[in-house]
């Protein structure tokens, strides 16, 4: 009964490709997030959605497009992947915006 | 200067030691403070959540907040090898519109048997 689950866990792809990461939460939370964690373990918020509405877009290149079909799902599509996009991407959810967040297990993206 | 500063470590201690992990922050508008534990190749896991200045205890873990010094701590008593992980502080407040958590860079803790 995973609370926040994201797929795939690992993603290796070539520069220029387009890829998607999916996330689902079964906690009944209203808010979902995408975070990026770099090689130095720094966690930075990318997007947040509250009840399917975009709340935060943290100056992320528009090659990254989140989509929330319903409040339990938040997907991330990345176009024209670049080497610098290599990182671990975490989905998270919270009961309300800005409250303590519960994280998925991460998607390790490697762009070669 | 980062909004939240945290020594990256690694911090190496023997089993049974008392561990002190710390974060400093620059913006006095932060009001909510959290500690997360992250094992290698796993997602961060919420350990402690505090609001006001003072101490909060949960088992071997104690979270301490000193808003006047803009300093928060996590103490781990009787540390175990299973406590070896990266510990991240996170905070939220009026400065973020209460809309997002700002994380420290994490401190890597190694507890040797």
Tokens representing B4? Answer: 């939240």
Q: Is A83 left (phi over 0), alpha (psi -120 to 50) or beta?
A: alpha
In the structure encoding, which two tokens stand for residue B109, read together? 């803790």
Rounded CA separation A65/A67 (Å)? 7
Mean pLDDT to the nearest integer, B76-105: 90
Shortest CB distance from A97 goes to which of B49, B99, B105?
B99
- B101 with A104: Cβ contact below 8 A: no
Q: Out of A53-62, B17-26, B90-99, which region has the weakest mean confidence (pLDDT)?
A: B90-99
Is residue B62 pLDDT above 80, yes or no?
Answer: yes
**Average pLDDT score, chain B:** 92
Q: Does A106 touch chain B (CB under 8 A)?
A: yes
- In whole angstroms, what is the distance from residue A98 CA to residue B96 CA? 9
pLDDT score, position B54? 87
**Which residue positions in chain A have pLDDT lower than 70?**
1
Check residue B95 and give its pLDDT: 63
Please give the full DSSP string across B43-87, using - where no structure is assigned.
Answer: --EEEEEE-SSEEEEETTEEEEEETTTTEEEEEESS--GGG-EEE
* CB of A59 less than 8 A from some CB of B: no
The predicted model gives B42-63 an average pLDDT of 92
Rg, Å, chain A Cα set: 13
pLDDT bucket at B41, cuts 50 / 70 / 90? very high
Interface test with B, best of A34, A41, A91, A108 (most B CBs within 10 A): A41
Answer with the residue of higher pLDDT: B60 or B54: B60
Burial tier of A15 (Cβ tally within 10 Å: 0-12, 13-18, 19+): exposed
Instruction: Look at residue B91 and tell me whether its pLDDT is greater than 80.
Output: yes
Half-sphere exposure of B41 (CA within 13 A, CB side): 4
């Amino acid at each position: 009964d995973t609370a926040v689950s994201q797929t795939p866990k690992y993603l290796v792809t070539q520069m220029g490709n387009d890829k998607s990461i999916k996330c689902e939460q079964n906690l009944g939370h209203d808010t979902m997030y995408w975070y990026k964690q770099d090689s130095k373990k720094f966690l930075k918020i990318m997007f947040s959605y509250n009840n399917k509405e975009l709340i935060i877009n943290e100056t992320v290149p528009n090659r990254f497009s989140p989509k929330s079909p319903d409040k339990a799902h938040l997907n991330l599509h990345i176009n024209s992947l670049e080497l610098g996009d290599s990182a671990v991407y975490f989905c998270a959810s919270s009961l309300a915006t800005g409250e303590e967040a519960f994280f998925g297990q991460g998607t390790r993206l490697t762009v070669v | 200067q980062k909004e939240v500063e945290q020594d990256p470590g690694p911090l190496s201690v023997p089993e049974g030691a008392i561990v002190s992990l710390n974060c400093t922050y620059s913006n006095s508008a932060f009001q909510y403070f959290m500690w997360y534990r992250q094992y290698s190749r796993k997602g961060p896991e919420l350990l402690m959540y505090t609001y006001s200045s003072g101490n909060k205890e949960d088992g071997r873990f104690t979270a301490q907040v000193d808003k006047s010094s803009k300093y928060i701590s996590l103490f781990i008593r009787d540390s175990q090898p299973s406590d070896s992980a990266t510990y991240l502080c996170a905070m939220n407040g009026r400065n973020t519109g209460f809309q997002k958590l700002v994380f420290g860079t994490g401190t890597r803790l190694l507890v040797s048997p």
